[in-house]
Structure 1
């Protein structure tokens, strides 16, 4: 018994011993960070800074990348409670306003997800060399989709998401440099020149606006 306890103590120090089965978790409700995103066919890749407000159901993205070999820069503000997304052009003081076709999906592990694995990213020789993460999988039956989501064991910060639907194909997203909180909450409000913009006819969801 003493040998087993000693072994578990060593494993705890190296991040290999989990005291309990990984639990479904909720990401911090206010979050800032960066993300990269790419599509299966390689036609689209982008890197974006984001701020995320699960309480107000708002997301702001500042995106740079390439779509079909063309460079892009996009500033997007999603207001899910109001059902609109703004494409913001600060330089020209203009906005495009489109209705949102989907609902807010918080960064959390859904209740119907199942645990795929718990692993250490990076090294496992000592505590500071690696990151303990949990990977969950599940289906999105309303659209025939599926996902593989990885979050940190401690804090439930998003690490990566692999998502598939018949419309989008496979989309790979990686999250990094995340911190709790939002530095400037005003960035989650439309600029003064945006609310007067006429609403376009085309409905967008998160991925179609992002692309």
Structure 2
């Protein structure tokens, strides 16, 4: 009985511990949406995320200022290159990527806003325990509010603020650990002859912020 009581207290203490900043799994894939406060941009897409190789691919379908668009972008941070891929026409646009790779993670200096249950905590399996944090954007130009799961540090949503769009909401869903098709994180063969457009630079957020 004494041992049972000690174990019970130990488990209760573990569950009561304050959440800590965390890093998401290094290999992730899933879906995401992006919506802006001024309603100029709405986007639905799929993403592939490889923190080990510092590679991200985002395949988008959306609307910008009432004009629909599609975009397929492969960001290779170690090479400093981004490819805009058109599988239908088998063409590529190659652009410089002059920013550092930013892993999906809660910065160590972020502040915890809240820990809540999405859904219901009345019955097992009816809710998801998440932590919401506030911290600086990587370039220190603003704040970001990030929500991740308590167990696994899986991304749920980010809320940014930009001068151009106001508040920008990014939601993640259908997240899967791993990359089902790793080859999609390499440039297609037909991208081999693409020439660098040296006048253009890009980063991850600009995939959504700089639509024509």
Q: TM-score, normalised by structure 2?
A: 0.88
**For residues 131-168 of structure 1, what are the alpha-carbon distances to aligned partners after superposition, in whole Å with 9 as ceiling and x for unaligned?**
00000001238442101000000111000000123355
**For residues 17-43 of structure 1, what are the alpha-carbon distances to aligned partners after superposition, in whole Å with 9 as ceiling and x for unaligned?**
933111111101000100000112110
Q: Would you say the 8 A contact 1:134–1:150 is kept in 2?
A: yes
- Tell me the equivalent position of 2:162: 165
SS in structure 1 opposite 2:131? Answer: strand
Q: How many residues align?
A: 199
Q: Would you say the 8 A contact 1:121–1:130 is kept in 2?
A: yes
- Tell me the equivalent position of 1:45: 42
Q: Would you say the 8 A contact 1:143–1:165 is kept in 2?
A: no
Q: TM-score, normalised by structure 1?
A: 0.88
1:71-150 alignment to 2 at 5 Å? Answer: 71-140=68-137, 142-150=139-147
Q: Which runs of 5+ in 1 are unaligned?
A: none
Aligned to 1:202, which of 189, 200, 205? 200
**For residues 36-57 of structure 1, what are the alpha-carbon distances to aligned partners after superposition, in whole Å with 9 as ceiling and x for unaligned?**
0011211001011111000011
| 4+ runs deviating over 6 angstroms | none
Q: Would you say the 8 A contact 2:38–2:165 is kept in 1?
A: no
Which segment drifts farther, 165-174 or 200-209? Answer: 165-174
Q: Would you say the 8 A contact 1:76–1:86 is kept in 2?
A: yes
Root-mean-square deviation (Å): 2.0
Q: Which runs of 5+ in 2 are unaligned?
A: none
1:1-80 alignment to 2 at 5 Å? Answer: 18-80=15-77
